[in-house]
Amino acid sequence: MTIPIWIYAVVVGIVISAIMAIKTGREERQLELETIEREGEIYMDRLEKEKELRNEGNATSE
């Protein structure tokens, strides 16, 4: 009892598809983390600038 060659092709296709899905998922997760980190840095810079402006305002009013 031999297995037809098209079954091997289907199994190879499924394996390749699974590998590509895992690879793409990892890349998307990494890209998402980088985006979140960049947005966090921008937010922290904005907070720091506002803090400096408040400190300058308090120094001039004294």
End-to-end Cα spacing for the chain: 94
- Residue whose tokens read 């810079």: 45
* pLDDT in the model for residue 12: 97
pLDDT tens-place string over residues 5-62: 999 999 999 999 999 999 999 999 999 999 999 999 999 999 999 999 898 877 765 5
> The whole model's pTM is what?
0.62
DSSP character string of 37-59? HHHHHHHHHHHHHHHHHHHHHHH
Measure the CA–CA gap between 52 and 62, rounded to whole angstroms: 16
* pLDDT in the model for residue 60: 66
